[in-house]
Amino acid sequence: TMGVIEQRAADIFLTVSQAVATQNGLVEHHVPYEVIPNFLPDDGDTIAGDSAPYVAQLPAGEFLLFVGALGHSKGVDVLLRAYAGLRDAPPLVLIGYETPEWPMLAEHCPPNVIVLKDWPRHAVMAAWQRSLLALAPSIWAEPFGIVIIEAMSAGRPVIASRTGGPVDLVADGETGFLIEPGNVLA
């Protein structure tokens, strides 16, 4: 949170989500702010690059998709436990980059999980186009959740944690579902 001097130095604060405004004390201290969410460029689906070698690594049929840091804060461990409890589920694809805890989490990958690392954005956008739905199970209060609007730009519903910025993005029961962070059963 900021001090009184910082608050008085600005006419208005701009945040990417209501969660950021709340976490920074703007709401509590009645500091003027406006939420201006992140966005995707209008040419987002025409990003240059050959996606074919990447897309060839995806399952041929339907699959569930997670994109992000392969770590605890993004809820990967929760997702892996939840996926392990499903029967007859489509493959789960994780696209992301390693975090320090990933090697330990990787030891607990259930069958039918495909891990793909360090993809360029154009290939990730192609994966969203092919996916069944998006999974964003963060356990921390995401400031925004750009992967959510990427998935939605591809017309994919989202299952996300009810914390932080995703609450501003997912209309629960309409554009996806919001679940309690860390709730494996949900």
| pLDDT tens digits for range 6-37 | 767 888 989 988 988 888 888 998 889 999 88
Residues 128-154 have a mean pLDDT of: 95
- Using the 8-state DSSP alphabet, how is residue 45 labeled? G
- β-bridge pairing 33-35 and 92-98: unpaired
Which residue has 């995806």 as its token pair? 58
Q: Is the pLDDT of residue 104 over 60?
A: yes
d(CA 87, CA 126): 27
- Using the 8-state DSSP alphabet, how is residue 151 labeled? H
Residue 115: C-alpha distances to residues 25, 72, 151 (Å): 38, 15, 18
Amino acid 89: pLDDT: 97
Q: Which of 66, 65, 67, 79 is nearest to 139 (CA)?
A: 79
Torsion angle of alpha carbons 137, 141, 143, 148, nearest 10°? 20
Amino acid 162: pLDDT: 96
DSSP for 47-81 reads -SS--HHHHTTS-SS--EEEEEEESTTTTHHHHHH
For the whole prediction, is pTM greater than 0.85? yes
Residues 114-141 have a mean pLDDT of: 96
Task: Report the first-to-last Cα separation within the chain, whole angstroms.
Answer: 32
The one-letter amino acid code at 103 reads P
d(CA 48, CA 125): 11
Q: Which two tokens stand for residue 154?
A: 């591809």
Side-chain-facing half-sphere of 106: CA atoms under 13 Å: 15
> Residue 64 burial (CB < 10 Å; 0-12/13-18/19+)?
buried
d(CA 121, CA 36): 23
Q: How many H helices and E strands in the chain?
A: 8, 8
